[in-house]
Amino acid sequence: MTTHTGIAIVIGASHGIGLAMVRQLLTMPQVGRIYACSRQALLSESLTVLAQQHPQKLQRLSVDITVEADIVKLANEVREQDQQLHWLINCAGILHDSGRNIRPEKRLENVDTAQLEAIFRVNAFGPILLAKHFLKLLAHDHPATFATLSAKVGSISDNQLGGWYSYRASKAAQNQFLKTFAIEALRRAPNLTCLALHPGTTDTALSKPFQKNVSNEKLFSTTFVAETLLAIIFGTAASESGRFLSWDGSEIPW
């Protein structure tokens, strides 16, 4: 598609914040096509309904960002169909799993190599592999954005409470990958804006077990978060690339 409309990819689109991003992007006339991706993208009932309503605009793809071959396949698909990409929004992330094998560590004794690996593969390695395989598609004469959802608990200077070793460290690693990528992108893709974004505590499966002590006004809906983060994604220029921003646009210290 080489019209004035742009092409978007949302990773982690089957539910939570990513699904709300897809819904919102579908209403935006400047977005010509959306690739909605996750491991279960083809099994998500919500995405299936949206794909039936928007057969030209929405394409679902099964992608696991811990598998580099899946990312390569997705990049090839976009290259063949659209030649370039304008927004890559990575909303994939894990904090715990439903099987309760993975859960945030309360104390040092809970630190476990298998859990560290599993969380780092999704939260840290996934985003930088996406950058590796999509840089060329994002490097063109038009503005483009690479946005990846981080978390304030990944801020080292903001860490007052401790705990959650693997999640915190994976998000800190993601932030360092993003910052390093943004520096290389200045030279290789001058129109690209690279952002790490904190959505705030959002009512999704990821935060569900930890919502007890969160007041109603501090627990955001996915619709609100998608709107606020997309306003940042669509409103931030390449001159501001390499930043870690909160949902309200404020800067979070690394």
CB closer to ligand NAP, 1 vs 231 = 231
**What is the nearest approach in angstroms of ligand NAP to the Cβ of residue 118?**
9
**What is the nearest approach in angstroms of ligand NAP to the Cβ of residue 246?**
10
CB closer to ligand NAP, 141 vs 217 = 217
CB closer to ligand NAP, 86 vs 198 = 198
**What is the nearest approach in angstroms of ligand NAP to the Cβ of residue 63?**
6
> What is the residue whose two structure tokens read 């077990």?
209
* Cα dihedral across residues 201, 207, 208, 212: positive or negative: negative
**What is the nearest approach in angstroms of ligand NAP to the Cβ of residue 147?**
11
List, edge to edge, every strand of the sheet that includes 6-11.
58-62, 31-38, 6-11, 87-90, 144-149, 192-198, 243-246
**What is the nearest approach in angstroms of ligand NAP to the Cβ of residue 89?**
10
Summarize as ranges the residues that interact with ligand NAP (CB under 6 A).
11-18, 38-40, 63-66, 91-94, 122, 149, 151, 198-199, 201-202, 204-207
**What is the nearest approach in angstroms of ligand NAP to the Cβ of residue 142?**
26
Residue 70's alpha-carbon distances to 42, 55, 76, 149, 197, in angstroms, are 15, 23, 10, 20, 24
**What is the nearest approach in angstroms of ligand NAP to the Cβ of residue 2?**
28
CB closer to ligand NAP, 189 vs 230 = 230
CB closer to ligand NAP, 1 vs 49 = 49
Task: Let me know if 143 is exposed, middle or buried by CB neighbors in 10 A (0-12, 13-18, 19+).
Answer: middle
Q: How far is it, in rounded angstroms, from Cα 254 to Cα 14? A: 29
Q: Which tokens go with 133? A: 């395989």
Q: How far is it, in rounded angstroms, from Cα 223 to Cα 37? A: 19
Reference 42, options 58, 55, 61, 23; nearest CA is 61
CB closer to ligand NAP, 14 vs 175 = 14
Counting Cα atoms < 13 Å in the Cβ hemisphere of 72 gives 3
CB closer to ligand NAP, 1 vs 72 = 72
Q: Which tokens go with 184? A: 């290389």
